[in-house]
Amino acid sequence: MAGCEANFDGLVGPTHHYGGHSFGNVASTGNAGQPANPRAAALQGLAKMKALADLGYRQGVLPPHERPAVDVLRGFGFGGDDAGVLAAAAKQAPQLLAAASSASAMWVANAATVSPSGDTADGRVHFSVANLQNKFHRAIEHEQTGRTLKAIFGDASHFAHHPALAMHPAFGDEGAANHTRLARAYDAAGVELFVYGQRHWGGSLAPQHYPARQTLEASQAVARRHGVRDAVYVQQNPDVIDAGVFHNDVISVGNLDVLFCHESAFVGRDAVYAELDTKLGGLRLIEVPATKVSVDDAVRSYLFNSQLLDAGGGRMRLVVPEECRETPAVWAYLQALLAQDGPLADVRVYDLKQSMRNGGGPACLRLRVALTDAEAAAVHPGIWLTPALYEALTGWVGRHYRDRLSEADLADPQLLLEVRTALDELTALLGLGSIYPFQRLEGGSR
């Protein structure tokens, strides 16, 4: 098989904290106010990246965003020098300061939707940055995300970039978390499954309690811009959104011709499976019944927020968080699945507790980009996780990250200085140039 799937993981930023920012994400609201350990969070993410790179997968790194976002706070009327902006925001609008300090850009499955070149009309890889308009702390990510992606995938003969859709509920877009690309090979023409939570215009089926973050209108716009030849749209079951499944990647994951999902994931599931089966010329489906794993256990364990990776010979490997081993029904199900002669050959377990407490599992932390060999060669090389880069990054985290952070620390001007010093060093380490606002401001008050 030619081509590959590269995983680009978001490096956890130094302001990682538990702000309770994401209504509908039960881990985020349930852990609000707990102290966080940004250093452990970043090292946990790097350990997973290293393990997958060691297994032979192409592994890249996406840098964190500049937080606290002082430029955002200035836009809300806080003035003076940077320390003054932070102090005034902490006093007058602490929730705004916390939101502007979220390290949520680590969950890069929400950074963009990516259509591989085999699927698109012009034969290029297309990226649409997600607007993430449903949550304020995430709606401020798209500009930096666009800059970063363009710095890494800069070759216009291979890569096309689209900005975030209009910031309106009609076009709520959460990126790859609601998008599954299925194909017989990474560089072959594939089928793109777009899962939406709600139809903004003319749809009556919707969750009652928690928000549907992705709309059909957004998914269609992304597919149109990318020139996707074969798109399938399906609505996410609104009941599971109300049970805490705030993105499709909390209830299903697919790779190549394999779809692993809960039986409650989709509205009208049989028709979707049949359509995918026809279009792919054979879908290998692993559908998990509620009698084996309840939706609550799926949300608790993040079983479906796993990475489904090609293990060769038509077999698959599943990368799951520790919480799967700690949830008896899920662990028993996985053992039974391994014992069968089905697509699953291997399960790997990683400790991602710091991210998991904010509702971010292995799949949230990575953006998948299927690439031909020529496209892979055109990616900015500095971001590939080599053993040397892993060593450099763990050392960098050790030097710059705190091991305890709470909301009360966010106004500390020393923290801002630490972040900027760290990011300056990081862009040099990755060879990315000046991608951050503070690096671009001439004479900026650092």
**Residues assigned a catalytic role:** 174, 247, 364
252 in contact with ligand SUG (CB under 6 A):
no
Return the number of the residue (316 or 363) whose C-beta is nearest ligand SUG.
363
Closer residue to ligand SUG in complex, CB, 110/427:
110
Under the criterion CB under 6 A, does residue 110 sit at the interface with ligand SUG? yes
With binding defined as CB under 6 A, does residue 126 bind ligand SUG?
no
Q: Which one among 15, 101, 102, 145 touches ligand SUG, defined by CB under 6 A? A: 102
Binding to ligand SUG, residues 15-54 (CB under 6 A):
18-22, 25, 28
Q: Does 10 bind ligand SUG (CB under 6 A)?
A: no
Residue 71 or 407: which CB sits closer to ligand SUG?
407
Calpha distance 440→434 (Å, rounded): 7
Distance CA 299, CA 341 (A): 27
Q: Does 302 bind ligand SUG (CB under 6 A)?
A: no
What's the token pair of residue 328?
């008896």
Report the C-alpha gap between 391 and 46 in whole angstroms: 10
**Of 347, 361, 348, the residue nearest 302 (C-alpha):** 361
Using rule CB under 6 A, residue 207 touches ligand SUG: no
Helix (H) or strand (E) holding 182: strand 179-183
Phi, psi of 168, deg, nearest 5 = -150, 145
Smallest distance, ligand SUG to C-beta of residue 339, A: 29
- Sheet with 344-350: list strands edge to edge: 307-312, 315-321, 344-350
User: Residues 147-166 vs ligand SUG: string with x where CB under 6 A?
Assistant: --------------------
What span, in angstroms and rounded, lies between the C-alpha atoms of 196 and 179? Answer: 9
Distance separating the N- and C-terminal Cα atoms of the chain: 50
Q: Is 69 helix (H, G, I), strand (E, B) or coil?
A: coil
The smaller minimum CB distance to ligand SUG, of residues 247 and 420, is found at 247
Question: Where does this chain touch ligand SUG (CB under 6 A) — which range of 46-54, 107-115, 199-207, 342-350?
Answer: 107-115
270/292 Cα distance (integer angstroms): 19
The kind and range of the H/E element at 39 are: helix 38-54
CA-based radius of gyration for the chain: 21
Least separation in angstroms between residue 320's CB and ligand SUG is 14
* Window contacting ligand SUG (CB under 6 A); options: 153-161, 246-254, 340-348, 390-398: 246-254
Q: How far apart are CA 139 and CA 100, in angstroms?
A: 10
Q: Residue 177 is encoded by which pair of tokens?
A: 């978390």
254 binds ligand SUG (CB under 6 A): no
| 358, 379, 389, 438: which one binds ligand SUG (CB under 6 A) | 358
Give the torsion through C-alpha atoms of 344, 348, 351, 352, to 10 deg.
Answer: -50
Q: What is the DSSP string of 386-440?
A: -HHHHHHHHHHHHHH--S-B-GGGTT-HHHHHHHHHHHHHHHHHHT--S-SHHHH
Task: Report if residue 109 touches ligand SUG, rule: CB under 6 A.
Answer: yes
Q: Quick one: which segment of 2-10, 12-20, 143-151, 399-407 binds ligand SUG (CB under 6 A)?
A: 12-20
Among 53, 89, 250, 295, binds ligand SUG (CB under 6 A): 250
Minimal distance, residue 331 CB to ligand SUG, in Å: 21
CA distances 361 to 240, 242, 283, 374, Å, are 18, 19, 25, 31
What mask, x for binding ligand SUG by CB under 6 A, covers residues 361 to 390?
Answer: ---x--------------------------
* CA atoms within 13 Å, Cβ hemisphere of 221: 22
107 binds ligand SUG, rule: CB under 6 A: yes
How many residues line the site for ligand SUG (CB under 6 A)?
Answer: 22
Give 19 or 38: the residue with its C-beta nearer to ligand SUG.
Answer: 19
* Chosen residue from 39, 179, 226, 247 binding ligand SUG by CB under 6 A: 247
Build a one-symbol-per-residue string for 273-292: x at contacts with ligand SUG by CB under 6 A, - elsewhere.
--------------------
Interface ranges with ligand SUG (CB under 6 A): 18-22, 25, 28, 102, 104, 107, 109-110, 138, 177, 246-247, 249-250, 358-360, 364
